[in-house]
Amino acid sequence: MPKRPAPPEGYIYIDDVETETGTILGIASRLGIAPSTYRKWRMAGIGPRTFRNGKRVLASVDAVDEYLAEQARAAGASHDSRPAEPRIAA
Model confidence at 28: pLDDT above 90: yes
pLDDT score recorded for residue 1: 47
pLDDT score recorded for residue 90: 64
pLDDT digits (tens, 9 = 90+) for 41-83: 999 999 999 999 999 999 999 999 999 999 988 877 655 556 6
The whole model's pTM is what?
Answer: 0.76
Q: What is the 3-state secondary structure (H, E, C) of 13-62?
A: ECCCEEECCEEECCHHHHHCCCHHHHHHHHHHCCCCCCEEECCEEEEEHH
Q: What is the mean pLDDT of the chain?
A: 88
CA angle, corner 3, sides to 37 and 30, nearest 5?
A: 35
Model confidence at 33: pLDDT above 60: yes
